[in-house]
């Protein structure tokens, strides 16, 4: 029983580390997009906090697969490459608050 409880505690701790919240995930975006997505990145992009959650999810998927974006397409592809589906949803929910 003790091993089961210890295993469960370890699994929950691992899950909390792996599954970051939107605010934490968004921190790497804030340098270009602003603290809440309120500015055009590098003076070129759209203001992302005006996007719906669905539009943000669509854009991030598009950047990830290369089907979306203009001048910053290449840079954004690298930024989103390692995001999971859950990460993308978390970021969209954070920006859409």
Task: Encode pLDDT of 7-20 as tens digits.
Answer: 444 444 444 445 58
Q: What is the pLDDT of residue 24?
A: 97
> Which of the two residues, 17 and 75, has the higher pLDDT score?
75
Q: What is the pLDDT of residue 16?
A: 43
Q: What is the mean pLDDT of residues 31-43?
A: 94
Structural domain boundaries, residue 56: 21-95
Q: What is the mean pLDDT of residues 68-82?
A: 91
Residue 10 inside a domain? The answer is no
* Nearest alpha-carbon partner for 92 in 63, 67, 72: 63
Residue 54 inside a domain? The answer is yes
Contact 37, 47 (CB under 8 A): yes
Angular region, 37: left φ>0, alpha ψ -120 to 50, beta rest: left
Find the DSSP H helices in the chain: 2-18, 22-33, 53-65, 73-80, 85-95
CATH code assigned at 81: 1.10.760.10
Question: How many domains does the structure of the chain reveal?
Answer: 1
Q: What is the pLDDT of residue 15?
A: 45
Give the other-Cβ count within 10 Å of 22's Cβ: 18
């Amino acid at each position: 029983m003790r091993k089961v409880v210890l295993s469960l505690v370890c699994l929950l701790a691992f899950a909390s580390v792996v599954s970051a919240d939107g605010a934490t995930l968004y921190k790497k975006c804030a340098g270009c997009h602003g603290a809440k997505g309120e500015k055009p990145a590098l003076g070129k992009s759209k203001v992302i906090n005006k996007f719906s959650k669905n539009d943000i999810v669509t854009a991030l998927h598009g950047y990830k697969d290369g089907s979306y974006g203009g001048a910053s397409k290449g840079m954004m592809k690298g930024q989103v490459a390692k995001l999971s589906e859950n990460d993308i949803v978390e970021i969209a929910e954070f920006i859409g608050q």
